[in-house]
Amino acid sequence: MNAPQLTKNQALVFDVLAKADGPLSAYTILDKLRDYGFRAPLQVYRALDKLLEYGVVHRLESINSFVACAHPNENCHSHGTVAFAICESCGHVIEFHDHEVDHRLANWTRGKKFKAEKTTIEIRGLCETCAA
């Protein structure tokens, strides 16, 4: 899924996420965009839905927040499942891929004949700086 030309709202939401130094909730995004005419959550959620679909934004399920993809110029989906390490102290997120993990999970689903649609891997803890 490659991103076509973004609409105005999509571009605004994406820019906010791209400039943030960590994940943002939909309502935080809304607040940051009030000066640009945003009034309602749905304006944010609709834009996010598209950005997620295009693969340029990820949703962090465990903290109900969103981040810009760390690999803007590649197609994230081609790397397999995206995993995240989320620092609970400073909020920073590291995005990574591990083919072996993908492989193991794929093996498991194959064995169970489970048809995987979306896989979430999120590690919460403390980043190197905050753990020190």
Rounded Cα distance between 16 and 37, Å, is 14
Residues in contact with 60: Cβ distance below 8 Å, sequence separation at least 6, in sequence order: 23, 66, 67, 84, 86, 93, 122
DSSP state of 106: H
Q: Which two tokens stand for residue 71?
A: 């690999």
The tokens 């081609």 sit on which residue? 78
Three-state DSSP class for residue 39: coil
125 interacts with DNA by CB under 7 A: no
Single out the segment in contact with DNA by CB under 7 A; choices: 46-54, 73-81, 82-90, 95-103: 46-54
By a kind-dependent CB cut-off of 5 to 8 A, residue 7 interacts, out of a second copy, DNA, none, with DNA
Q: Is there binding between residue 51 and DNA (CB under 7 A)?
A: no
Interface segment toward DNA; rule CB under 7 A; list 2-10, 85-93, 98-106, 108-116 = 2-10
Q: Is 56 in the site for DNA (CB under 7 A)?
A: no
Q: For the chain, how far is it from start to end, CA to CA, in angstroms? A: 39
CB of 50 to DNA, least distance (A): 6
Tell me the window of 18-26, 47-55, 65-73, 98-106 that interacts with a second copy (CB under 8 A).
Answer: 98-106
**Residue 25 interacting partner from a second copy, DNA, none (CB closer than 5 to 8 Å by kind):** DNA
Residues whose CB falls within 8 Å of the CB of residue 5, separated by 6 or more in sequence, listed in order:
none
Q: Nearest distance from residue 41's CB to DNA, in Å?
A: 4
